[in-house]
Structure 1
Amino acid sequence: MSELLLDMMNECDKDIGFMSDYDNPTRQYGCYFQQQFRHPMNKTDPNSPTIRESTWNAYLNGINRTNLQILDSVTVLKLLFDQTDPTKCIGVSYEYKGEMCTAIARKEVILSAGVFDTPKLLQLSGVDPEAWLEPFGIQVVANNAEVGRNFADQMAIYMAFETTEQVPALPWGADTCGWLLNSGLKPSNKNWTDVQIYCYSRFPALTLDFPIVGYDQILAYSQPPIPFVTFLVFNTQPEAQGFVKIQSLSPYDRPRIDHGWHNLSKYDQNNLQYGVDFVRNMTRSTEW
């Protein structure tokens, strides 16, 4: 975030009674450029002391391992199951540089294809109730009624404000900070958060026609200073649930995605209202 906005945030936090310290013991805060995690010093000891780590020393340092092979621009077509034990996944079929390939696992297959493609691959491979697979002629391997269900996505509201000064804008995503808050709408302990608020030094309409590009190109994107600041209010614990469901036999086709937002509960509505009121209260503070 630009220094101008960051200074304003720190001051208005004091005005409305919040601590600016991300590591304070009473409230959880999140910040885009301070995300780290803890790693146990001794993985075999559940009570081992932990140390702070980042993506660099946890993942990128291991990229040169001799027993690690990474393929990019690959499309997984289907999961392969043992013919003698249909419940055991033994590999995957995939398309790589125009060729159809097969990878057989020595020990196990770990499916981590994201919220949308994970259920899509399972359904294309026969893991789902028969009612969803029968219209496509897919044989049921495992009747699992949870695949593609219970889909809960964060709903959000943009709030854009015109400023009296030109706000410096940094590369995409680098000028972002956020709060994690507890709305108090549900009984919980003080560390349970259900509202997240991001702040950007840009106007959201500038990104509506943003092209589909690689993440590195997004980070390199920048724009001149503008007289706008935008807040993005998230409901991080929505009650609304939808589903993800295949629409064809092709692994290249996108699945149908239903967020379940057409009938929001009172909690979901009040949660977003809490975040909107919080932003309005903050922008009325002395610093703003």
Structure 2
Amino acid sequence: MGEFDYIIVGSGSAGCVLADRLSADARNRVLVLEAGGTDRRFWIKLPIGYGRTFFDERINWKFETEPEQAMKGRSSYWPRGRVIGGSSSINALVYCRGLPSDFDSWLDKGNVGWGWTDVESYFRRSECRVDAEGKAGPGGPLHVSDVSREMHPLKRHFFAAAQEMKLPYTDDFNGPTPEGVGLYQINTRKGVRCSSADAFLRPALDRANLRLETHALVRRVLFEGRRAVGVEFEQNGQVFTAQAAREVILSAGAVNTPKLLQLSGVGPAALLRKHGIDVVLDQQAVGGQLQDHIAVSYFYKATEPTLNDALYPLRGKLAAGLRYVLSRKGPLSLGVNQCGGFVRSRSDATQPNIQLYFNPITYSTAPEGKRPLMNPDPFSGFILSFQPCQPLSRGRIDICSADPKVPPAIRPNYLSEEQDIADVIAGGRFIQKMARTQAMRGLIKEAMPPCLDIMTDEDIVEDFRERCGSVFHPVGTCGMGPDPRHSVVDPMLRVHGLDALRVVDASIFPSITSGNTNAPTIMVAQKAADMILADRLNKDAA
């Protein structure tokens, strides 16, 4: 395949940013390798179409965790994008930076340059804010849209309930005061999904020094001693190699990046030898410190029409489709998560400890395994949902075979810390309190089983174990830190103990951010690009 200055593995949320930033310098020859194919698909571009892509094996890795004790022996389904744009092409669109304290905690762990005041500008570099009128402001290429005018009127009940509970209101989760309830902003541009590929990669592909190869499954990183010099990948049944004159950059995500490192001989030595892989570096932290958000939803029948009434009947689907085709507006132009917030469910919480979701739709009667967002219930209904923001539980991801086509073993180890269980109870009680407000009592026709209102603390935990699921925010498996005994990359995102190898994706998070992880992953890539370009300048000057 030849030689390039930089080889980027993965064209997801981070890889697309890197491709754009690094190729902006015409001296840099950049190769991007993507295991999936094109993102030019109707269900990707349609905002609510992730109800289809959620299970589409053509564009989705469709990972499954190992059976989890905390989930009564159930496995958790983890959709991850196997397509140009990665998970930004199949996610639920919510753009949320997280809380400033999330990043200050990164700094407190010894990651110099990663506090809130350090990273805020990198968020802004990507963002193009679009107001409710559709007017785009200055900034970057990633559209962050206010779609409040298209949101369902049921939202007034949620905000009235929050007001009764004296919860703060925020008009911008990505502004200076993100704590409170509000309306989620989403990554759409004129009613169409705006993925990382749309914002960063596709405009950059016109450059002669940027090359994208799809259906290219990277099998391993190639080393000379402890220096990464290229990669080996499979494409259309053939095996190729590509050489990297400057760096190999892994942006394959929190599942596939540690897997690729282990396949390449970087990971726990005993694990690698078990699968017949030569050890390049015995690094126990590779694959460890896995974190994820898990949530549970409570379903209610409503006293007034919801999205179920609009989207369940065939005529409603046709009407919504026609409106979308003609105007790019209506329910098909939105994600399902419309309202929510970051709140404190415990009196002793020093910062918001749960994230709320209020969805004007239910799909409790959808057949098992069907696409729920395309199968709303035949009655008016809505959902209240929560996830603990900062789980303390840690898991692992490890290869099961030397065959790169075999999925790794994913062991999240959910609810293994007492604090996480305490947050589950507090979150359940918080939803219970919200459902008992005058505003919600007027909206609730009846609670659908299991009924939170009659649960004890033990019942809340047991129900959570039986029904909770991932919110699809895996991070931390190649964590950042100054100590190579407990982290995989340093604060410059260079792999400890190796040369010319960097990791730039959600796997480097030292701890999970409080909300949706797409926005901070894009921020990480913007900051990493500055580091990589500065390194080139310094080395060239030397």
Aligned CA distance change for structure 1 residues 26 and 72 (closer, same or farther; 3 Å): closer
Shift of 1:31: 4.7
1:187-221 per-position Cα deviation (integer Å, ceiling 9, x unaligned) = 64xxx44311222233354384136xxxxxx99x5
Greater CA deviation, 107-116 or 165-174? 165-174
Shift of 1:278: 1.7
Aligned CA distance change for structure 1 residues 57 and 125 (closer, same or farther; 3 Å): closer
Number of the residue aligned with 1:49? none
Number of the residue aligned with 2:353? 194
1:175 aligns with one of 331, 336, 347: 336
Q: Is 1:140–2:279 an aligned residue pair?
A: yes
Q: Is 1:18–2:157 an aligned residue pair?
A: no
Number of the residue aligned with 2:509? none
Q: 2: distance between equivalents of 1:286 and 1:187?
A: 26
Q: Which amino acid aligns with 2:213?
A: L
Greater CA deviation, 63-72 or 267-276? 63-72
Q: Which amino acid aligns with 2:388?
A: N
Greater CA deviation, 92-101 or 250-259? 92-101
Q: What SS does the corresponding residue of 1:106 show, helix, strand or coil?
A: strand
Q: 1: distance between equivalents of 2:389 and 2:355?
A: 7
Greater CA deviation, 11-20 or 144-153? 11-20
Q: What SS does the corresponding residue of 2:250 show, helix, strand or coil?
A: coil
Q: 2: distance between equivalents of 1:286 and 1:271?
A: 25
Shift of 1:141: 0.3
Greater CA deviation, 102-111 or 226-235? 226-235
Number of the residue aligned with 2:16? none
Shift of 1:244: 0.6
Number of the residue aligned with 1:237? 390
Q: 2: distance between equivalents of 1:72 and 1:152?
A: 29
Maintained 8 Å contact 1:204/1:230: no
Number of the residue aligned with 1:117? 256
Q: Which amino acid aligns with 1:136?
A: H
Shift of 1:246: 0.8
Q: Is 1:277–2:429 an aligned residue pair?
A: yes
Q: 1: distance between equivalents of 2:302 and 2:222?
A: 57
Counterparts of residues 208-287 of structure 1 (less than 5 Å): 208-210=368-370, 221=374, 223=376, 226-261=379-414, 264-287=416-439
Aligned CA distance change for structure 1 residues 130 and 223 (closer, same or farther; 3 Å): same
Maintained 8 Å contact 1:79/1:122: yes
Maintained 8 Å contact 1:195/1:235: yes
Q: Which amino acid aligns with 1:179?
A: G
Maintained 8 Å contact 2:170/2:178: no
Instruction: Give the TM-score normalised by the residue count of structure 1.
Output: 0.77
Number of the residue aligned with 1:48? none
Counterparts of residues 55-204 of structure 1 (less than 5 Å): 61-82=203-224, 86-168=225-307, 170-171=331-332, 174-177=335-338, 178-184=340-346, 188=350, 192-204=351-363
Q: What SS does the corresponding residue of 1:145 show, helix, strand or coil?
A: coil
Q: 2: distance between equivalents of 1:202 and 1:142?
A: 50
Shift of 1:123: 0.8
Shift of 1:111: 0.4
Instruction: Give the TM-score normalised by the residue count of structure 2.
Output: 0.43
Maintained 8 Å contact 1:94/1:101: yes
Any stretches of 5+ residues in structure 1 without a counterpart?
37-53, 212-217
Q: 2: distance between equivalents of 1:244 and 1:90?
A: 25
Q: 2: distance between equivalents of 1:256 and 1:172?
A: 36
1:16-40 per-position Cα deviation (integer Å, ceiling 9, x unaligned) = 112333337372557543469xxxx
Maintained 8 Å contact 1:158/1:231: yes
1:232-275 per-position Cα deviation (integer Å, ceiling 9, x unaligned) = 321221111111111111111111111112x6322101112222
CA RMSD of the aligned region, Å?
A: 3.1
Aligned CA distance change for structure 1 residues 269 and 92 (closer, same or farther; 3 Å): same
1:8 aligns with one of 157, 167, 171: 157
Aligned CA distance change for structure 1 residues 29 and 16 (closer, same or farther; 3 Å): closer
Maintained 8 Å contact 1:168/1:201: yes
Q: Which has the higher helix share?
A: 2
Q: 2: distance between equivalents of 1:144 and 1:90?
A: 19
Q: Is 1:33–2:185 an aligned residue pair?
A: yes
Q: Which amino acid aligns with 2:343?
A: L
Q: How many residues end up aligned between the 2 structures?
A: 258
Greater CA deviation, 9-18 or 113-122? 9-18
Identical positions, percent: 26
Aligned CA distance change for structure 1 residues 29 and 286 (closer, same or farther; 3 Å): closer
Shift of 1:80: 0.9
Q: 2: distance between equivalents of 1:233 and 1:91?
A: 43
Any stretches of 5+ residues in structure 2 without a counterpart?
1-149, 189-194, 309-330, 441-542
Q: What SS does the corresponding residue of 1:280 show, helix, strand or coil?
A: helix
